[in-house]
Amino acid sequence: MAKLNIVKIGDETLRKVCRPVDAITPRTLTLLDDMLETMRDANGVGLAAPQVGILRRIVVIEVEEGKPIELINPKIIAYAGEQREQEGCLSVPNRWGITVRPKHVTVRALNRHGETFDLTGSDLLARAICHELDHLDGKLFIDNMVEELE
């Protein structure tokens, strides 16, 4: 595995819409592993492929230590409730803000074996899913921020 460079705000890659993954190749699996290592090294809870300069619909999330979640071509299929919480981003260093996100989210994605699965998350996991999937469409948390924190 290798640590990747995290792209920072101002890099045009962060504002582009990512392409779907057509086939899960050894390169895809290496990217998943490298993204997980990069996210952990940066003390993040989520990382999307465009944050490491790759315009593909791939996300890794780990809100519980040792329980990584890999999402390939993820799509939110259901959401409910509302939470108003603090967010930050590895690509937007030293900025924090309050965003309004769904309290519960269900996402459908492929795993590393190409199998479709659904995952439902609440609270921090729901927020992380929404945050990372926004990256896949060229959006940053600051676009959703309702209050900036100092």
| 112 Cα distance to chain centroid | 16
| 56 Cα distance to chain centroid | 12
Helix (H, G, I), strand (E, B) or coil at 65: coil
Helix (H, G, I), strand (E, B) or coil at 77: strand
Which residue in the list 62, 70, 87, 132 is annotated as catalytic? 132
Q: Which of 62, 64, 84 is nearest to 132 (CA)?
A: 62
Q: What share of the chain is helix, strand, coil (3-state, %, to 5)?
A: 25, 40, 35
62 is catalytic: no
What would the two tokens of residue 96 be?
A: 């924090």
Give the residue carrying structure tokens 């996210």.
39
Is 70 within 8 Å of 32 (Cβ atoms)? Answer: yes
Catalytic residues: 132
